[in-house]
Amino acid sequence: MTDVMKALRRMHNLERLATEVYRVQTGAFREEKELSDRLHAAKLKEQEHIDNLKARIEELGGGTSGLGMGFQKAGKTLGMITRLLGKNTMLRTDIRIEEKAIKDYSAFLGKVDFDAKSRALIEKNAEDERLHARRWQDFIEMLKHRQVLQQGKEQG
């Protein structure tokens, strides 16, 4: 198996993990529509990454990894655990997931000799991951701000 195929399959697996994490976490923000909607949108974007990577793997004559279901189950477990630990922990974990994806994408781009179409796909995915990480950081700040306002009301 070529380095290109190995890298694409690994990225596909990791996107499956992230998608499942977001799917499970979305319900934690039911009372906060904006956050719930953004998490749902991130899940859809991660699913798009899965679909695009799978299509590219198949275009190159390969198949997805048999480990994909394991990554998906790990994502479900991580999503449930972080959901139980609270919203801040959940969002911090999501930032770490995105930062890991960015690091992996960058490493692959630096090491593997991708064709132009695969390279463009990976660069787009990496940019999406950077956007998600910034968004989760903004949400953490928004939650902190809400908490301060709530404490002020309780003390006032």
Confidence of residue 36 (pLDDT cuts 50, 70, 90): confident
Domain with residue 120: its CATH number is: 1.20.1260.10
Share of the chain above pLDDT 90, in %: 74
C-alpha–C-alpha distance, residues 34 and 19, integer Å: 19
Contacts of 64 (CB under 8 A, 6+ apart): 9, 12, 54, 57
Domain count along the chain: 1
Mean residue pLDDT across the chain: 92
**Overall average pLDDT of the 64-72 stretch:** 95
Three-state DSSP class for residue 27: helix
Nearest to 118 by CA among 46, 56, 47, 50: 56
The whole domain housing 44 covers 3-155
Confidence check: pLDDT of 150 > 80: no
pLDDT tier for residue 30 given thresholds of 50, 70 and 90: confident
* pLDDT at 147 (0 to 100): 78
Q: What percent of the chain has pLDDT over 70?
A: 99
